[in-house]
Structures are given as structure tokens and as C-alpha cells.
Amino acid sequence: MQTTHFRNQLNLYRRKIAFSIFGVLILIGEASGQSRFNEISKSGQDEKFISYGFFLAGHSNTWRMKYSEAFLDPNNADLRRIQSIVPVYSAGFSLGFLATIRLHDQLNLLFTPKVGFYEFRTDVNYFEPNTGNNNPNNEITFKRETYINEATMVEFPLIFKYKAQRFNNTRMFFTGGGSAMFRTKDQEEANIEDLVTTGRDFTVDFGMGFDLYFKFFKFSPEVRFSHGLLDLYVPEESNPAFRDAISQIRRKSITLYLNFQ
């Protein structure tokens, strides 16, 4: 029941993310009109050496999974029932604070500590030979088992932000950097799950967005892609029904950030 409740929450988050994207498009349109017809805004504290803000974010994440040599071996009888193992994108959200260090008018260093709430879903498809009376030809059917990993992560991204020249109240930027991630759940608790992973990771991040200057604040929507560097898989603690079919697991995610300064 707990897992079902959590997934229902994620369905709500998907709607909120969709509404957020729609709202971002509206704000971009308003800011475009503002940049043409209104006076130049001084919001956002671009001239200060250090400035602060906060952000809300919605993400879609999944595993990057690699099959083992044993699974690819057609003579391996232990894994013959497994047809495929498919990671599925799942929604989540995060929130945190933003500290900006001005290195140059067009180059900033961002430190954005945050807390993220993640769900990783994996579908394992099995061959299920049906030898009953309703299947006289013994046709092969499939059975799907879904395994869900839930995690709360504390993250410490360090990001470089390269900004184009400002055009009135609009400015495009690109970001790149990395992050350290730590799971709040200890390893003993994680070992209860069917697909067991470690609690630490380091990621490479890159993205793009716009600085939109309003009268009293700067709003910066950004899309950022994140790729995990560490192999997180712990096969010795995972479900023996499929653990030997997997050799490597890494994480990846796509995140929409709504930054306010």
C-alpha cells in the first residue's frame, strides 16, 4: 500500500510538472514583451560578487543498465526465463538553495545544495510457457514483474554558468559541472529491496536556460541533464531471480529547474 500511495503522488507530480512547463512558457512570453517595452530591470543582483536564491525542480529519472555476459549467453539455463529487463522513467521533485559567485559578467559559479525525492522503476519480463487446456499449442506468454526503488538524496551540485550578452531583460545561458549525491537511507535498509544499489554517486551535469528579469526578482528556468559516473549495483544482495543478468547500473535524469533570485 505504501508503494501504491507513493506512485499516486508521482502522478500528481507529473501534472504539476506539466503545469510548471506551461507556466514557464507564459512567463517567457511576458518577459519577451517586457524586454521590448519596459525599462531595463536591475533585479537579480548580477553586479554583486555573491548573491542568493532558491529553486524548485521536477525531474524524470531512470537507470542506465547493462546486461551481463551470462544473460547474453544462450546456453545459460539459469537466466533462460528472462526475456528482458527494462528501466522505466519515473517522476520526482527536489528543492534547494542557490548561491551564485560572480567570476565575470558572463561567467558564474553556482553552488546549489538540494534534497531530491526519487523513484526508480524496473520492469523484468519473463517467458511464461502456458501448458494449460486453454493453450493446446503451448504458445509462450510473458509475465512482467515491476520493482521500485525509492530514495531521498542529499545533493551538492557545483555548476559553472556561462551567460550570453544581456538583451534588455532576457539572457540565455549554458551550465556544466558535477554533483555529489548521498542517500539518506542506510545500506542495511536498502538491502531489503529486490534491486539493491549503493547510496553514493557522482554525476556530470549540463544544461541550458534563460535569465528573465522582472521588476523585483530574476526568474531562471533551466533544463539540465545528469549522468551518474559510479556503478551502483550490488548483485550479492539483489533478487537471485534476475541479479546475474545485470552487470552494471548507473543513474541518469532530466530536470526542469525553476530558479528565483
CATH of the domain at 78: 2.40.160.20
Lowest mean pLDDT among 131-140, 146-155, 184-193, 217-226: 131-140
Over range 34-43, report the average pLDDT.
Answer: 61
For 69, the 3-state DSSP assignment is helix
132 burial level (CB within 10 Å; 0-12, 13-18, 19+): exposed
d(Cα 93, Cα 75) in Å, to the nearest integer?
43
Number of domains in the chain: 1
- pLDDT (0 to 100) of residue 36: 44
Q: Are 77 and 258 in contact (CB under 8 A)?
A: no
Domain region containing 174? 2-260
First to last CA, the chain: 40
Over range 92-120, report the average pLDDT.
Answer: 95
Q: Does residue 128 surpass a pLDDT of 70?
A: yes
C-alpha cell at 83: 526475456
Q: Phi and psi dihedrals of 164, rounded to 5?
A: -75, 170
In terms of Cα–Cα distance, which of 69, 57, 41, 95 is closest to 218?
41
Band the pLDDT of 80: cuts 50, 70, 90.
Answer: confident
Residue type, 192: I
Q: Are 204 and 229 in contact (CB under 8 A)?
A: yes
Band the pLDDT of 73: cuts 50, 70, 90.
Answer: confident
- pLDDT (0 to 100) of residue 193: 94
